[in-house]
Structure 1
Amino acid sequence: MGQKWLAILRDYLRSGNEIETPCYLYDRAGLLENIEILKKNFDGIARLFFAVKANTNLNILKLIKEHGIGAEVVSPGEIFVCKKAGFKGSEILYNNVARKKDEIIYALKNGITYFNFESINQAIILAKIAEQMNRRVKVFVRINPGIFPRTHPHLSTGSESSKFGIRMEELPEVAKTIKGLKFIELVGIHCHIGSQILSPKPFIRATTKVGEAIEYFRDNGYAIKYVNLGGGFGIPYRPSENPLNFAPIVKCYRNFKGEYNVEIFLEPGRFFVANAGYILTRVIDKKQRNHLPIYMIDAGMTENPRPALYNAYHHIEPLFEKNGRRFKIRVTGPLCENADEFGVFNLPELNIGEYLLIHNSGAYTRTMASTYNGRPLCAEYLIDSRLRLIRKKQPLRRLIEDE
């Protein structure tokens, strides 16, 4: 990832300009680099969709759309944002564990082409509403392959105990039920095994189960044309971690596409945006606890809940380089909450007011942020040739304006 954005940010602040912290920063060049990595790897093999749950900023979505990427959504809210960003209904996949009737109606009114379903009940509800609206809907059945990838348990969505998908032994009942539903057409298999996976092996193993599902449904008279193999491509959050090796995955997917004669969809989220995003924060207090210094910063679990939810690691470094000795420093947020911790890092001596960067903050941070402790959601900036505000900090009135 290039450092041009960092030089622009440093020059901006050295020139006497101020940025209110905390705030989110996105490196435009880094985002484009990630897009090209995925497009280059899967060119001619798969159609790419961005998992919008990772980042819903309109400017980010527009940039992704400009490069020929579709959108994968899980709610009417995400459909609304994608439509505002310029995505057509035919460019949107609507996947979700379970939907209410009004959510299905909203999606159909907005021209969504592809739906998944993860239970027989959901297929029946979708078919009834499609009939009421006189719309024939293309659907994917999401299978649960019973695979646990090496990731955090909360990020594993393909294991046997996971709430996601339909178990392989339930496929006969699915095939029988779908035959009686006239307004939905089963055209594809969906399988997403989890998130933040850094080994190719789970992705490859999952294709075996998907292949079994294709063969079963084709043997029972269904023309399976598409396969959505999900996302889950991880990034190195720790300096010691190695990046995901795409080569075995690409080879497997190419062979799979040829063997089963299907069009493959992929829906990465994190890989597109995570390492192109940062949280800019400042030290606002310093303490000592149990022989370990504490830097208390103005960013917390309201801006990045991942450490509290998943014990996730986000590398932290000073914005401006500092020579000299480094110390083990405990970094915490300012909230009235014991879980508001980022971890222990090797950092130099910093004064109150100095800047820090929280790395890999472009995915599942702002979309999971909250106003806990009465903290308005903070601003977002895109850095290309300059620093550009792309979402304002919420004013305090937003905390009560719906009451």
Structure 2
Amino acid sequence: MTVSHHFFDGVDLQALAAQMPTPFYAYSASAIRQRIAALQDTLEGLDARICYAVKANSNTAVLQLMARHGVGADIVSAGELRRSLRAGIEASRIVFSGVGKTEAEIVEALQAGVWKFNVESRDELFLLQQVAGRLGVTAHAAVRINPDVDAGTHEKISTGKQENKFGVSIEEAREWFSLREALPDVRLNGLHAHIGSQILSLEPFRRAMQCMADFARELAAAGHRLRTIDVGGGLGVTYRTGHDRPIAVESYGAVLKEVFTDFPGTLILEPGRWLVAEAGVLLTRAIRVKAAANRTFLVVDAAMNDLLRPAMYEAWHEIVPLHGKQMREVRYDVVGPVCESSDTFGVDRLMPECEAGDLLMITNAGAYGASMSSTYNSRPLTPEVLLDRGRHAVIRRRQTFEEMIAGECMAEAWETA
């Protein structure tokens, strides 16, 4: 992400923040398009399909951008299904993942005609058969295997080790493929694995892919033809300059081509963070500077309910003052107004001195920012703005107090169960 003279995708961030109160998210459409194009170029020559992980940033305008550039969706709920369809992503380009699909969600997804279900348990597999049989449709499914690969990422975003809740062992998956007669309405014709997020090394990807490729050959030899192999997502991005060294997308593509050189079906990729993280910033203003005995707090109007990653994962985001003044450098703990000690965006950060009213930018916040936000402390949901070559459009306005409490009511209509 490049910000020059406080411009981002051709939009003056100072001027934008003067028009609408902070905090708010701003996303660069150009940056997202560039990432899509880079991945598509890397996959040239492969039978491959990109299904964006909607959980990373589920704003319908962002999904619409994906749809316009031929990107499908990886969803984990009926809500994400509805968002994707509303944004113009065809059901035939949607894969449904997640360990806790309910019967109602499976019904809705089958009726919509989703492309594939990534199945994570035997119980789910037979529920899928039951629902598909009742509806008189055929469900296409992939078994999510857990390859027991340590992705070397934060424990809270690791998904491919035995102790994680995701997927099943190859031994169990092997049994599933022998159940063809018991699953007349399910076509189990794919493999899926996703080992984690924010992965900065190629080796875990290579091991997981090789595991799937070897299993696919075993299944083919036993007469089970696979149509798809879904390699998940997980490509990391640069949060901390000089510290994080992401994998070159070309190197990732080369491993795909090497490992799956003899696979005759379609490869599926589920990038989320890699497509949108560096395309987004969170704009916030300093409320006050609070000096304590051994540290100085810079209190800003954004909080952990707006951007949860630092509180939840101890995640690093660069924090850049946009006041444009030459100031001495001061060490700050940058904190929000929520009543939690974890409401902290950065500890002991060295940055130009700030004062109340100064605008700050929290970088690389386009993924798992707005999508994980909440109304904790009765703080309305944060606005989102899409920037595109000098233009901007509000794609989620600030929630009003009345909208925030719209689903609540006084306990007046009492009933007995």
TM-score for the superposition, normalised by structure 2: 0.93
Alignment of 1:400 onto 2:405? yes
Deviation at 1:150, TM superposition (A): 1.1
Cα shift readout 1:116-161 (whole Å, capped 9, x = no counterpart): 1011111000011000000011110000000011110111100111
Equivalent residue in structure 2 for 1:78, among 52, 77, 80 = 80
> 2:13, 2:303 → 1: CA distance?
23
> 1:286, 1:44 → 2: CA distance?
55
Alpha carbons 2:149, 2:204 under 8 Å: kept? yes
- Residue 300 of structure 1 corresponds to which residue in structure 2? 303
Deviation at 1:6, TM superposition (A): 6.2
Alignment of 1:246 onto 2:249? yes
Instruction: Tell me which amino acid in the other structure corresponds to 2:203.
Output: K
Cα shift readout 1:85-120 (whole Å, capped 9, x = no counterpart): 011110111111121111100111112121110111
Pairs within 5 Å for 1:153-168:
153-168=155-170
Alpha carbons 2:29, 2:279 under 8 Å: kept? yes
Pairs within 5 Å for 1:194-209:
194-209=196-211
CA separation of 1:10 and 1:119: change in aligned 2, threshold 3 A = closer
Alignment of 1:374 onto 2:405? no
- Residue 136 of structure 1 corresponds to which residue in structure 2? 138
> 1:397, 1:208 → 2: CA distance?
53
> 2:2, 2:334 → 1: CA distance?
26
Alpha carbons 1:9, 1:387 under 8 Å: kept? no
Equivalent residue in structure 1 for 2:173, among 171, 174, 179 = 171
Pairs within 5 Å for 1:208-227:
208-227=210-229
Deviation at 1:11, TM superposition (A): 5.9
- Residue 272 of structure 1 corresponds to which residue in structure 2? 275
> 1:178, 1:358 → 2: CA distance?
52
Pairs within 5 Å for 1:1-400:
1-3=1-3, 4-5=7-8, 8-10=11-13, 12=15, 17-45=18-46, 46-240=48-242, 241-344=244-347, 345-384=349-388, 385-400=390-405
Deviation at 1:39, TM superposition (A): 1.3
Between 1:56-65 and 1:216-225, the stretch displaced more is 216-225
Cα shift readout 1:347-396 (whole Å, capped 9, x = no counterpart): 11111011000111101111100000001101111112223211111110
Q: Secondary structure of the residue that 2:110 maps to in structure 1?
A: helix
> 2:323, 2:40 → 1: CA distance?
34
Instruction: Tell me which amino acid in the other structure corresponds to 1:22.
Output: P
Alpha carbons 1:200, 1:246 under 8 Å: kept? no
Alpha carbons 1:156, 1:195 under 8 Å: kept? yes
Q: Secondary structure of the residue that 2:11 maps to in structure 1?
A: helix
Alpha carbons 2:24, 2:283 under 8 Å: kept? yes
Deviation at 1:186, TM superposition (A): 1.2
Alpha carbons 2:193, 2:232 under 8 Å: kept? yes
> 1:80, 1:172 → 2: CA distance?
33
- Residue 411 of structure 2 corresponds to which residue in structure 1? none
CA separation of 1:13 and 1:80: change in aligned 2, threshold 3 A = closer
Alpha carbons 2:281, 2:365 under 8 Å: kept? yes
CA separation of 1:293 and 1:70: change in aligned 2, threshold 3 A = same
> 1:178, 1:324 → 2: CA distance?
70
> 1:338, 1:13 → 2: CA distance?
31
> 1:267, 1:298 → 2: CA distance?
34
Instruction: Tell me which amino acid in the other structure corresponds to 1:378.
Output: T
Alpha carbons 2:143, 2:173 under 8 Å: kept? no
Deviation at 1:243, TM superposition (A): 2.6
Alpha carbons 1:120, 1:177 under 8 Å: kept? no
> 2:201, 2:235 → 1: CA distance?
9
Unaligned runs of 5+ in 1: none
Instruction: Tell me which amino acid in the other structure corresponds to 2:250.
Output: A
Cα shift readout 1:11-46 (whole Å, capped 9, x = no counterpart): 6259xx432111010112111111122112122222
Instruction: Tell me which amino acid in the other structure corresponds to 1:84.
Output: R
Alpha carbons 2:14, 2:322 under 8 Å: kept? no
Aligned residues: 401
Alpha carbons 2:32, 2:276 under 8 Å: kept? yes
Q: Secondary structure of the residue that 2:382 maps to in structure 1?
A: coil
Alpha carbons 1:200, 1:245 under 8 Å: kept? no
> 2:272, 2:16 → 1: CA distance?
31
Unaligned runs of 5+ in 2: 409-417
Aligned-pair RMSD on alpha carbons? 1.6
